[in-house]
A = this chain, B = another copy of it.
Amino acid sequence: MALMTKDQYLASLRGLDHWVYIQGEKVRSVPDHPISAPPAMAMAETYRRAEIGEMKPLFTARSHLTGETINRFTHIQHSVEDLVSKILMLREMGRETACCFQRCAGLDCLNTLYAVTFDTDRKFGTRYHDRFTEFLRFVQTHDLVSAACMTDTKGDRSLPPSRQPDRDQYVHMVAEKKGGMIVRGAKLHITGGVNSHELLVVPTRKLTEEDRDYAVAFAVPADTKGVKLIYGRQPSDTRRLEAGRADVGNFSYGGCEAMVVFDDVFVPEERIFMKGEYPMAAQLVELFAAHHRASYGGCKVGVGDVLIGASAALAEVQGTDRASHVKDKLAEMVHLNETLHAAAIASASKGFSTPSGAYAVDALLANVCKLSVTRFPFEIARLAQDIAGGILVTMPSLNDREDPEIGPYLKKYLVGKEGTDTEKRMRLLRLIENITLGTGAVSYLTESIHGAGSPQAQKIMITRLADLQSAKQYAFRLCGL
């Protein structure tokens, strides 16, 4: 079939035999719970836009395995154009949903494992690449979502995995079994974990020989026995439970993260893509990081587009759009937003083939992209709040508009420029609140710092990747040394 429709995707989610814990509640059908529905709908958009319409060319690609048209979210990139298209697709999704739509980490992880299993085989004489290709073919053919599970719980950060007092603080093999292995541990911040068909587990850091048991990569269906998904809270998440969801800001979409516990889960051999080849862990982490750090110059920029649009629209409603300082702030927001995008595009533009044939982005520029992402959205959000005005956080509930006693006051006193109704103003304000202080801020702000690695991780990579030696030589020559 290769392409699933949005509705088929939602049905497939409902068909999963997994249990998700949402604030103590055991939820089985994720798209039907008001808290988890918006994330499911955001993910579903990745299907809808590949179905039909003008975005189909951007959201689909030709599988290098089968030659079939597949969703680009399952595609192994084989050219600079592919790398660029991914960034453009992510930006488009960001614009459409104004949240984390959760499917890019899995995509980046597929591309990483494709390249790394190839290199592992060459180095260790193993046969992971064929296995992984088989898995990939399965994902592409059924158009599945595979969630990347990387960040371990880490325990004491000053100790490596094998020296932790509690050895389970990093996911690891606890036993070999006939036809597979048993794994234990937990992964944090698993974006879209509750909306995914498959969980794709990889190491989170460089490993040494002592950590051999921690050098595991594998995939298991999300409803595998022993897997537990514990849903994370977000600011203002329960507004989705309120009457009419009047104050949610973003009516259709949202992101979600979960803690994924692997409580002695069995992984069959054909789903194991690394088992003990610890020297490959560092390469895997760096390649994934490069792919994923570039991704942030797509999705976050799309959310930025929405925030800029909402601010511009609100300025019109409130009658401040002609003020020179407002125009200047909007220009600054665009400038910062496009600077993020430019770095992602540039990292793709300087992409290159790995030995497997899969393309990688320029790692220095991808890290540069992400490091700016840890900064600029905060400034863009600040400027949006500046344009919005204090009413952003002092405004009563939109439901109060319907109240017979106080509704008339709201309608009278919260007008903007003549002719604009208060509802338009209030909804735009709630959207800006959502992105800068609500559920949307999880993805637009905090995740912009920590997703795909924290700022310090980027600084370390920039230091490592910068060619300071030749820079010194230029300097020496110029000052006559």
Contacts and interface: CB of A to CB of B under 8 A. Distances in A.
What is the predominant secondary structure among interface residues of chain A facing chain B? helix
Contact of A325 (B189, B318, B406, B459): B459
A390 B233 contact: no
A428 B472 CA distance: 10
Contacts of A460: 331
Nearest to A311: B475
Contacts of A343: 338-339, 342-343, 346
Contacts of A96: 474
Nearest to A309: B471
Given A21-B396, A157-B319, A331-B462, A235 B308 contact: no
Interface stretch (A109-117, A136-144, A247-255): A247-255
Interface string A266-308: 0000000000000000000000000000000000000001111
B21 A390 contact: no
A250 to B, nearest CB: 5
A301 to B, nearest CB: 11
| Copies per complex of this chain | 4
A188 B319 contact: no
Contacts of A390: 151, 188-189, 446-447, 449-451, 454
Contact of A430 (B312, B327, B379, B479): B479
A232 interface: yes
Given A345-B350, A463-B330, A472 B309 contact: yes
B309 A412 contact: no
Contacts of A462: 331, 334-335, 338
A369 B339 CA distance: 7
Interface string A426-465: 0110110100011001100111011100111011101100
Given A168-B413, A382-B449, 11 more contacts: A153-B414, A158-B417, A165-B418, A189-B391, A233-B395, A238-B242, A257-B394, A308-B471, A330-B463, A331-B460, A341-B346
Closest 4 CB pairs of A and B: A309-B471, A390-B450, A342-B346, A324-B324
